[in-house]
Amino acid sequence: MVAGRTAVPSFAALAFALPAVLSAASVSCSGDATPGGAGTLVAALTGSALRDEMRSMRVVVFDLTAQGCTGHRVANPGLAPLATSGLVRSAALQATLEVPAGPRTIYVEVYRDDDGTDRFGTGCVELVLAAGERATVRIEIEMLGASDADADADADGDADAEDAGEVDAADVDAGDVEGGDGDAEDVAGPDVVVDGPDGPDGPDGVVDGETGEGIDAWDAPADAPADELDDGDAAEDIPEEDAAPPPAVIVISEIDYDQDGTDNLEFVELYNAGASTVSCAGLELQFINGVGPSRYRTQTLTCSSLAPGAFHVVGSSALLASIPACPSMQILGSGGTSLIENGPATTTDGDAVALVDGSSGSPVVLDQVAYEGPVVGWGEGSPAPTDDATGESLQRIPPGRDRNENSIDFTVWPPTPCAAP
């Protein structure tokens, strides 16, 4: 039984989304989203050719009252979002992010490249997320191409009447018109996975978007096998041979923001987890105070490039003096003390650090880490563990491991600036 989950169709698509509304009502027991607070959303993608073609993805969350889904897209992708995953890579075809509770529109774009320019598919679902809820929503990605051209032709009145409503059976997936006549009863809504404790009967439950009935993850449709559903360790569930080759991209591999007494050894370490050299042109670190949230520091990277497996350290003067052999490093801010904020003082908001690529003129978030508490619109999934002592930092182990979930990607460990732990 699913609690606290109500699919909210856009008014424009009400006729086509009616089964999803009815099925959601039949399985929703209690708990609409409460004012304030946030929930955790895992956007799990399905669709043909994704594993072969997708190199990166972006999840953007809008207020449903501002705009809803228009088919598999939204009318205004540039509208100010409530939250975004930024541009991420995921062999598990999913991204996790913290989302303010309430009625939300979840819009996804997928790309064939690592810099978010070659878009080849989109997906969109609408839902109500309750405060404190962690839910996995399966989003069907539709390829851009023939179907979009047909839609444009219909709008221009150029399509033949006999072609209206026709759907190639080979292209039908969850959320498409299954009978080909466009009637509401022929349309399947999006499937929703609501996380719960795994047990002997299988992993998290799946709600069938067409029938509204619970189904076993083991009986999930062929385009979403059980090993693709989120169980908290999604990346570990993907067979090694199915994982995409490591892209050429830099990640935040270590952060040390807090020492006993005066904070004078603070730093952020970056690591090239890819297989080729990456240019540092246009890259910058953004430091975010969770109250607001608001950006309190921007640091442009001074490295010219970063070779595969190489580190770049941005830190205080005292920290850099302690690692003279590091081949790539730069001073953070003034180089003094208290350069990186330590999380909440009197609130539950954390802080965050993001690596941003502004080289194209449209900033792209490459990696982001929230710590000491959630930061609305920043971080990946739940916050990283807490670094609260001189002998501790937050580290990826190994440094290139990125499952798009801060709480499991980072470990509290003795600091190792400019080196692997």
The tens digit of pLDDT for each residue in 102-137 reads 899 999 999 998 878 899 999 999 988 888 888 888
Spatial neighbors of 206 by CB under 8 A, at least 6 apart, are 138, 191, 192, 193, 214, 215, 216, 217, 220, 229
Q: Answer yes or no: is 141 within a domain.
A: yes
Q: Give residue 98's pLDDT.
A: 85
Q: Give residue 42's pLDDT.
A: 85
Q: Give residue 87's pLDDT.
A: 83
Q: Give residue 51's pLDDT.
A: 77
Q: Are residues 127 and 198 in the same domain?
A: yes
Which of 59-63, 216-220, 414-418 comes out lowest in average pLDDT?
A: 216-220
Q: Give residue 105's pLDDT.
A: 94
The mean pLDDT of 4-23, rounded to a whole number, is 36
Q: Give residue 269's pLDDT.
A: 98
Q: Answer yes or no: is 1 within a domain.
A: no
Cα separations in angstroms, 341 against 193, 257, 297, 360: 36, 7, 10, 29
Q: Answer yes or no: is 3 within a domain.
A: no
Residue 392 has pLDDT above 60, yes or no: yes
Query: How many CB atoms neighbour CB 338 within 10 A?
Result: 13
Q: Are residues 277 and 237 in the same domain?
A: no
Q: Give residue 114's pLDDT.
A: 81
CB 81 within 8 A of CB 62: yes
**Selection from 342, 345, 344 nearest residue 353 by Cα:** 342
Residue 174 has pLDDT above 80, yes or no: no
> If you average pLDDT over every residue of the chain, what do you get?
72
- φ, ψ for residue 140 (rounded to 5)? -80, 125
Confidence tier at 7 by pLDDT (50, 70, 90) = very low
Instruction: Pick 195 or 77 by higher pLDDT.
Output: 77
**Selection from 136, 103, 101, 108 nearest residue 122 by Cα:** 108
Q: Give residue 389's pLDDT.
A: 65
pLDDT, tens digit, 9 for 90 and up, residues 53-99: 888 889 999 999 899 999 899 999 889 899 888 888 777 788 888 88
Residue 306 has pLDDT above 70, yes or no: yes
Q: Are residues 235 and 321 in the same domain?
A: no
Q: Give residue 353's pLDDT.
A: 97
Residue 296 has pLDDT above 80, yes or no: yes
Instruction: Pick 35 or 102 by higher pLDDT.
Output: 102
The mean pLDDT of 39-54, rounded to a whole number, is 83
Q: Answer yes or no: is 339 within a domain.
A: yes
Q: Are residues 216 and 255 in the same domain?
A: no
Residue 23 has pLDDT above 50, yes or no: no
Q: Are residues 233 and 328 in the same domain?
A: no
Q: Are residues 205 and 254 in the same domain?
A: no
Q: Are residues 345 and 386 in the same domain?
A: yes
Q: Are residues 229 and 268 in the same domain?
A: no
Confidence tier at 346 by pLDDT (50, 70, 90) = low
Cα separations in angstroms, 168 against 39, 164, 181, 251: 38, 12, 12, 41
**Selection from 128, 140, 136, 122 nearest residue 187 by Cα:** 140
Q: Are residues 229 and 254 in the same domain?
A: no
Residue 147 has pLDDT above 90, yes or no: no
Q: Are residues 229 and 267 in the same domain?
A: no
CB 392 within 8 A of CB 370: no
Q: Answer yes or no: is 419 within a domain.
A: no
Which of 85-94, 214-223, 356-365 comes out lowest in average pLDDT?
A: 214-223
Q: Answer yes or no: is 382 within a domain.
A: yes
Of 217, 241, 265, the position where a domain reaches its end is 241
Q: What is the CATH number of the domain that holds 292?
A: 2.60.40.1260
Place of tokens 């001073």: 331
Instruction: Pick 5 or 417 by higher pLDDT.
Output: 417
Q: Are residues 119 and 212 in the same domain?
A: yes
What is this structure's pTM? 0.47
Name the domain count of the chain: 2
Q: Are residues 60 and 103 in the same domain?
A: yes
The mean pLDDT of 303-325, rounded to a whole number, is 96
Query: How many CB atoms neighbour CB 165 within 10 A?
Result: 14
Of 184, 215, 241, the position where a domain reaches its end is 241
pLDDT, tens digit, 9 for 90 and up, residues 235-269: 334 343 344 444 448 999 999 999 888 999 999 99
Of all residues in the chain, what percent carry a pLDDT higher than 90?
38
Confidence tier at 145 by pLDDT (50, 70, 90) = confident
Q: Answer yes or no: is 2 within a domain.
A: no
Residue 297 has pLDDT above 90, yes or no: yes
**Selection from 150, 137, 149 nearest residue 206 by Cα:** 137
Q: Tokens at residue 375, please?
A: 């930061």
Which of 68-72, 166-170, 330-334, 351-355 comes out lowest in average pLDDT?
A: 166-170
Of 190, 206, 241, the position where a domain reaches its end is 241
121: domain range? Answer: 11-241
Q: Answer yes or no: is 4 within a domain.
A: no
